[in-house]
């Protein structure tokens, strides 16, 4: 009986590990690739050249999903500079500009940076060159903020644990593995059959 319990616990813990990996919206190596830039690419061709120069594939082997670890050029949470960074591509929803959060080591929407021309149902974060108004916010922000002003970070930069935010940002990246359910069902059936 005790060996059955151990087996059940092993199956359950293995299932939890797989689920945690599937839901991870970030890769820790991203912070090492962050570089402030004067401006971001504004055409597909400029974006392609910048991505080749940044060479995110050189870092991708450090991540769980290397094929999704790609070049980005986005605003920072304070909306006062643009950053080149290698990170997982995310779906940005609700008409916000994409930002890179050093705290969360991920790309996410910036609620303080509305984007009038961004699709409300979402866009891929590695296609932000299609929405240059987000980059223009940085220039406007720099013109309006006095040098002595205190700039506070976007709340999503400070606390990115809001489950609804994760669901909205990750829905397209999350994968559901039906075999993970078997990790729970098989041990339960084994316990039931031994007890009968």
What residue ranges do the domains of the chain occupy? Answer: 1-24+176-196, 26-172
Q: What is the pLDDT of residues 15-74, one digit of tens each?
A: 444 443 445 689 999 999 999 999 999 999 999 999 999 999 999 999 999 999 999 999
Which pair of structure tokens corresponds to residue 77?
């949470």
Which pair of structure tokens corresponds to residue 153?
């970070």
- Of the two residues 122 and 14, the one the predictor is more confident about is 122
162 and 102 Cβ atoms separated by less than 8 Å: no
- From first CA to last CA, the distance across the chain in angstroms is 12
115 and 131 Cβ atoms separated by less than 8 Å: yes
Distance between CA atoms of 125 and 131, rounded to whole angstroms? 10
On average, the pLDDT of the chain sits at 77
Q: What pLDDT, on the 0 to 100 scale, is given for residue 189?
A: 61
- Three-state DSSP state, 150: coil
Q: What pLDDT, on the 0 to 100 scale, is given for residue 25?
A: 84
Distance between CA atoms of 76 and 22, rounded to whole angstroms? 26
- Considering the entire predicted model, what is its pTM? 0.63
Q: What is the pLDDT of residues 147-171, one digit of tens each?
A: 444 444 554 444 443 433 443 444 4
Residue 104 has pLDDT above 50, yes or no: yes
């Amino acid at each position: 009986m005790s060996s059955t319990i151990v087996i059940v616990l092993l199956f359950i813990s293995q299932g939890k590990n797989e689920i945690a990996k599937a839901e991870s919206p970030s890769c820790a190596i991203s912070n090492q690739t962050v570089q402030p830039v004067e401006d971001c690419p504004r055409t597909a061709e400029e974006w392609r050249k910048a991505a080749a120069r940044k060479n995110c594939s050189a870092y991708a082997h450090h991540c769980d999903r290397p094929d999704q670890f790609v070049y980005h050029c986005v605003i920072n949470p304070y909306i006062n500079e643009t950053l080149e960074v290698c990170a997982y591509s995310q779906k940005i929803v609700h008409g916000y500009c994409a930002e890179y959060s050093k705290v969360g080591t991920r790309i996410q929407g910036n609620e303080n940076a509305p984007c009038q021309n961004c699709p409300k149902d979402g866009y891929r974060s590695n296609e932000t060159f299609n929405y240059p108004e987000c980059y223009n916010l940085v220039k406007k922000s720099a013109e309006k903020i006095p040098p002595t002003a205190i700039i506070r970070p976007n709340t999503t930069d400070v606390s990115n644990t809001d489950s609804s935010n994760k669901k909205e940002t990750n829905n397209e990246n999350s994968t559901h593995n039906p075999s993970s359910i078997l990790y729970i069902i098989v041990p339960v059936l084994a316990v039931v059959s031994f007890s009968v």
